[in-house]
Each structure stands twice: as structure tokens, then as C-alpha cells.
Amino acid sequence: DTAVSQTPKYLVTQMGNDKSIKCEQNLGHDTMYWYKQDSKKFLKIMFSYNNKELIINETVPNRFSPKSPDKAHLNLHINSLELGDSAVYFCASSQVGKNYGYTFGSGTRLTVV
């Protein structure tokens, strides 16, 4: 069983389109994250939800909107896609109080053309 699963794995789309990425974890964790990894492999946190509540909202364009319907799911919707949004987006999860690091999903490679 995949612990943290993301869909789709690859996403190629044109500038100006709107797209969504979905994430689900079956680890029973209460916190989920979105990270962006750019072409230089730098991982940067975007958002974090704890039990469906947004707790981290880094300096990210408001074209990006996360949503967490429940603690096992975290989605990312991106409006009006730009070339600079091309990156790999990773979902991750962890459990507050159990400081054993994050478990990452397999990533979604977004290419905006």
C-alpha cells in the first residue's frame, strides 16, 4: 500500500490553464504539506494543514489554493498557470508529537508550456 499518493504523476498544460493535484495519505497522520522543488532541486514549503486547518501559508502567489477536505487528503489548485510554475510538487505528511520526519509522496511533475 502506498503511504502518500499523489495524482497525477505528470501534468503538461498550457499557460493560463487551471489545474489541480490531489494527495492522499493512509498513515493516519494529522498534518499534510505541499512542497515545491525547482529545477535546482531546492525544496520549499508552500502550505501545511493540521486536521483540516491551514497552519502554514508561505509567500506563495494567491493563484495557488490548497484545500483539505479531511486529514487524509490535501489538494492543490493552481489558477492561471505560468511558465515559472513548472516544477515538481511534493505532498508530505507527518504526525504532530511524533518527530520522525515527513513521509513524501512520489511527486507531480508540472510542465507549463
Which residue's CB is nearer to other proteins, number 23 or number 112? 23
CB of 80 to other proteins, least distance (A): 27
CA distances from 108 to 28, 72, 91 (A): 22, 18, 9
Does 63 interact with other proteins (rule: CB under 8 A)?
no
Nearest to 89 by CA among 3, 19, 27: 19
Q: Which residue has the cell 501559508?
A: 57
CB of 70 to other proteins, least distance (A): 20
CB of 107 to other proteins, least distance (A): 5
Does 106 interact with other proteins (rule: CB under 8 A)?
yes
C-alpha–C-alpha distance, residues 99 and 89, integer Å: 23
Which residue's CB is nearer to other proteins, number 46 or number 78? 46
Task: Give ∠ CA 70-3-107 in degrees, rounded to 5.
Answer: 90
Contact criterion met (CB below 8 Å) for 101 and 72: no
Does 57 interact with other proteins (rule: CB under 8 A)?
no
Size of residue set near other proteins by CB under 8 A: 23
Q: Which residue has the cell 491551514?
A: 54
Q: What residues make contact with other proteins under the rule CB under 8 A?
A: 31, 33, 40-45, 48, 55-56, 90, 94, 96, 99-107
